[in-house]
């Protein structure tokens, strides 16, 4: 029980650090990394909670999440690359064309 | 009387009658220069038709059930102002006289104005003038009368200034117009007063209202008459108006312009209060004497006649003022004939002399009676017409002037008979005018026709077209056309005059003695006498122009005083008030800015601060949105769990 408890704490830590990265980092790639961290935390939780019951649904769901995350990362990085080409920056603060001008 | 009723043929004829001269004016307006010679012919024919129509109308009068036709014009305060015709016997007689004289003037002008550059314009304005006068005579409403009254004034302005390139003519026409405007203002004010006290401007239903304002209204309307009919304070425009063509003078003096005033007096005679009548008779008597004296000392043939007209008009106005309106009206009709005849005769003389002067390249003033003389043999036909009209003016027996003058004098004697009062002065002036009139007309006839010829100018008698009108008018100046041999007026005019039966023998005898004395005196004065240069005393217009100028100066002086008072006191007061107001306004403004605006601004500032605070949450940064969303979620979870 103590081992899994530690893993729960790890999962919470990963989630919080991912969240913090999202809130604080300016760079879009860093934000994408934060999202990955949070997804990993969620995966960890899925696997851990699956130990408490019979069946493999948790593990499989985690696999799906990993696949989706890969796709998401690929698409996300592609978007970031295009925006970088267009704006010559990947800081999300400075990309504000859709916002109405003050 | 109702608006929807269709006018009978009588009124349709009247409508055609009044629009015919207007058609003549329009014809002259649209005609091409190439056909200018048509204008006199067409205009004269139109006026002939007008005259015939007016006679037809006159003889239809008896068979008419009503002599009034009106339609509603507009409404003021639910009271309708109507326009329409009022065709009673005086109006119809006046129509006939006006159209007859105007017709003859048209015919005469065809000869007199031949070759004039403004021929078409001249005949157009003659037609318009006649139209205005006919409308004035026929109108049933004083407001409509006023409109035509103004039109008469306007067209006389155009005609007097026909030779506008002559400075004197332009000046004279402007003067006539302006002096008339003074009178017209009085007329208009009178109409306003009348409207406000009675609400009625229908001529046929004017009655005496017991209001002290009625006297004011009457006097104001009479001021209009003073201007139009050239009475005492405002008569100085009439002699100047002699600058116009002579036929125009004939028209103005006989039928259209100055007759309008007297005609109006006759029309609204029932309106005048006794006080008004006193004013009217006094003004009339002053005018009569002033005109007669003025005529005695003039040298210009047309000016003599102009002053004579002033005198005669004064005589008529005086007659109306003392209640002898019938006599005054009859005199107006008679005067129309013989004065038109005199003017046309004078026009013939001027025309003949002018032609003669053109042949010898002379530069004589052909209107000056000092340069004329002995024209009896050279212009026999003109002389015949002129002498008959002059006899009528002088009031010799068997002429029309005698008849109407006797009527007036008899009425006057009856009016003043009882005690010695100011009335005797008025009557005395009437007798004085009776004495002076033959004197000045004898002077005119003597120096123009009877005295020895001045020089050997070859004169030719004027063309037939100019002789006929003079002769026709002189026939009109003979009594028995209008009244039968007995002293009673039983003929055509008798229908106009209900009670004209008080000619008494004494008056007739006295006036006959006066007239013959006057003629004899004139003969002995002027037989040998050479005319001196113009005497200064009575030149040129009884100092009336001078008086006018002094009045204007005095007005300027008064207005100067008023202006300085204005500047020193009223302006100072206003400035003081203004300063106080400005100071007050400044205080109010300050409190407004700082207190009221401060409160408002403070509220707005607070609102803006709160708005800025809330707005700062929505700063467009996705991360801060996420942060707040997460914070909200956390708070929500804690709130659910605990």
pLDDT digits (tens, 9 = 90+) for B13-33: 888 888 888 888 888 878 777
The pLDDT value recorded for residue B537 is: 46
- Smallest CA–CA separation between B627 and chain A, in Å? 6
B626–A99 CB contact, under 8 Å: no
- Does pLDDT of B168 surpass 90? no
Q: Hey, which of A80-84, B198-202, B240-244, B467-471 has the most confident mean pLDDT?
A: A80-84
The pLDDT value recorded for residue B356 is: 78
- Does pLDDT of A11 surpass 60? yes
User: Which one of B620, B621, B626 has the shortest CB-CB distance to A22?
Assistant: B626
Listed by number, the residues of chain B in 618-637 with a beta carbon closer than 8 Å to a beta carbon of chain A are 620-623, 626-627, 630
Q: Which of B620, B628, B631, B637 to mutate to test the interface with A (most CBs of A within 10 A)?
A: B620
What pTM did the predictor assign?
0.69
Whether residue B281 contacts residue B324, with contact meaning beta carbons closer than 8 Å, is answered with: no
Give the contacts of B627 (CB within 8 A, at least 6 positions apart): A23
The pLDDT value recorded for residue B484 is: 37
Ranges of each domain in chain A:
2-87
B623–A92 CB contact, under 8 Å: yes
Residue from B216, B238, B255, B274 nearest B93 by CA: B255
The pLDDT value recorded for residue B470 is: 83
CA atoms within 13 A on the CB side of B350: 20
Q: Which of A20, A83, A93 to mutate to test the interface with B (most CBs of B within 10 A)?
A: A93
User: Is A2-87 a domain of CATH 1.10.287.3510?
Assistant: yes
- Does pLDDT of B488 surpass 70? no
- Smallest CA–CA separation between B640 and chain A, in Å? 20
Q: Predicted confidence band at B494 (pLDDT cuts at 50, 70, 90)?
A: very low
Across the A:B interface, residue pairs with CB atoms under 8 Å apart total 14
CA atoms within 13 A on the CB side of B173: 19
- Smallest CA–CA separation between A31 and chain B, in Å? 10
The pLDDT value recorded for residue A68 is: 93
Compute the distance between CA of residue B143 and CA of residue B129 in angstroms, rounded to an integer.
19
Q: Predicted confidence band at B563 (pLDDT cuts at 50, 70, 90)?
A: confident
- Does pLDDT of B601 surpass 80? yes
pLDDT: which is higher, A3 or B626: B626
- Does pLDDT of B616 surpass 70? yes
Count of CB atoms situated within 10 Å of the CB of B601:
12
B621–A93 CB contact, under 8 Å: yes
pLDDT: which is higher, B120 or B361: B120
Q: Tell me the chain A residues in contact with residue B626 when contact means C-beta distances shorter than 8 Å.
A: 22-23
- Smallest CA–CA separation between B621 and chain A, in Å? 7
- Smallest CA–CA separation between B570 and chain A, in Å? 59
**Residue B373, Ramachandran bin (φ over 0: left; ψ between -120 and 50: alpha; else beta):** left
Please name the residue of chain B whose CA is at the shortest distance from the CA of residue A94: B621
Whether residue B422 contacts residue B347, with contact meaning beta carbons closer than 8 Å, is answered with: no
Whether residue B285 contacts residue B430, with contact meaning beta carbons closer than 8 Å, is answered with: yes
- Does pLDDT of B97 surpass 50? yes
Q: How far is CA B179 from CA B182, B186, B545, in A?
A: 5, 11, 11
Residue B80 forms beta bridges with which residues? B75
Q: How far is CA B123 from CA B7, B48, B126, in A?
A: 31, 14, 5
Question: What is residue B68's DSSP assignment?
Answer: E
């Amino acid at each position: 029980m103590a081992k899994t408890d530690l893993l729960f704490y790890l999962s919470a830590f990963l989630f919080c650090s991912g969240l913090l990265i999202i809130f604080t980092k300016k760079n879009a790639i860093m934000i994408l990394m934060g999202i990955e961290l949070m997804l990993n935390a969620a995966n960890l939780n899925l696997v851990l909670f699956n130990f408490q019951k019979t069946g493999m649904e948790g593990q499989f769901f985690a696999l799906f999440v990993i696949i989706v995350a890969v796709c998401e990362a690929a698409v996300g990085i592609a978007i970031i690359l295009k925006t970088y080409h267009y704006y010559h920056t990947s800081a999300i603060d400075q990309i504000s064309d859709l916002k109405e001008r003050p | 009387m109702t608006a929807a009723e269709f006018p009978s043929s009588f009124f349709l004829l009247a409508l055609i009658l009044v629009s015919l001269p207007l058609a003549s004016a329009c014809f002259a307006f649209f005609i091409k220069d190439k056909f200018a010679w048509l204008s006199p012919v067409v205009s004269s024919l139109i006026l002939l038709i007008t005259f015939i129509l007016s006679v037809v109308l006159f003889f239809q009068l008896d068979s008419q059930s009503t002599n009034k036709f009106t339609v509603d014009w507009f409404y003021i305060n639910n009271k309708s102002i109507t326009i329409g015709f009022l065709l009673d016997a005086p109006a119809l007689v006046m129509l006939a006289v006006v159209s007859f004289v105007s017709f003859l003037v048209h015919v005469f002008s065809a000869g007199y104005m031949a070759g004039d550059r403004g021929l078409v314009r001249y005949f157009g304005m003659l037609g318009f003038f006649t139209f205005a006068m006919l409308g004035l005579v026929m109108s049933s409403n004083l407001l409509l009368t006023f409109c035509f009254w103004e039109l008469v004034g306007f067209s006389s302005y155009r005609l007097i200034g026909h030779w506008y390139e002559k400075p004197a003519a332009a000046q004279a026409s402007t003067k006539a117009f302006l002096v008339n405007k003074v009178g017209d203002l009085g007329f208009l004010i009178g109409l306003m007063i009348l409207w406000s006290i009675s609400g009625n401007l229908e001529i046929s239903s004017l009655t005496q209202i017991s209001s002290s304002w009625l006297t004011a209204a009457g006097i104001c309307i009479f001021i209009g008459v003073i201007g139009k009919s050239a009475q005492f304070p405002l008569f100085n425009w009439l002699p100047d108006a002699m600058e116009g063509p002579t036929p125009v003078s004939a028209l103005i003096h006989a039928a259209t312009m100055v007759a309008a005033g007297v005609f109006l007096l006759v029309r609204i005679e029932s309106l005048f209060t006794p006080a008004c009548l006193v004013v009217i008779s006094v003004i009339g008597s002053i005018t009569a004497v002033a005109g007669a004296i003025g005529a005695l000392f003039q040298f210009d043939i047309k000016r003599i006649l102009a002053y004579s007209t002033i005198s005669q008009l004064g005589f008529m106005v005086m007659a109306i003022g003392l209640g002898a309106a019938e006599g005054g009206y009859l005199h107006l009709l008679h005067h129309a004939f013989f004065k038109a005849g005199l003017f046309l005769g004078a026009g013939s003389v001027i025309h003949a002399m002018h032609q003669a002067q053109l042949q010898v390249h002379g530069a004589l003033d052909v209107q000056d009676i000092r340069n004329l003389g002995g024209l009896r043999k050279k212009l026999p036909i003109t002389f015949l017409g002129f002498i008959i009209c002059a006899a009528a003016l002088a009031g010799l027996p068997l002429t029309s002037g005698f008849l109407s003058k006797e009527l007036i004098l008899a009425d006057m004697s009856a009016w003043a008979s009882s005690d010695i009062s100011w009335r005797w002065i008025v009557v005395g002036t009437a007798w004085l005018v009776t004495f002076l009139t033959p004197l000045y007309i004898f002077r005119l006839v003597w120096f123009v026709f009877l005295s020895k010829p001045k020089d050997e100018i070859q004169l030719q008698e004027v063309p037939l077209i100019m002789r006929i009108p003079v002769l026709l008018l002189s026939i009109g100046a003979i009594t028995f056309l209008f009244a039968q041999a007995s002293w009673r007026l039983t003929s055509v005019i008798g229908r106009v005059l209900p009670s004209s039966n008080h000619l008494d023998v004494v008056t007739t005898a006295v006036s006959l003695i006066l007239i013959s004395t006057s003629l004899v005196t004139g003969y002995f004065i002027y037989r040998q006498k050479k005319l001196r240069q113009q005497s200064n005393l009575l030149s040129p217009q009884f100092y009336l122009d001078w008086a006018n100028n002094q009045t204007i100066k005095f007005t300027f002086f008064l207005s100067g005083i008023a202006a300085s008072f204005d500047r020193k006191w009223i302006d100072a007061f206003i400035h003081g008030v203004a300063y106080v107001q400005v100071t007050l306004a400044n205080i109010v403004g300050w409190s407004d800015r700082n207190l009221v605006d401060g409160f408002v601004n403070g509220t707005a500032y607070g609102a803006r601060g709160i708005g800025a605070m809330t707005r700062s949450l929505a700063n467009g940064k996705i991360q801060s949105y996420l942060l707040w969303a997460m914070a909200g979620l956390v708070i929500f979870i804690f709130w659910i769990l605990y």
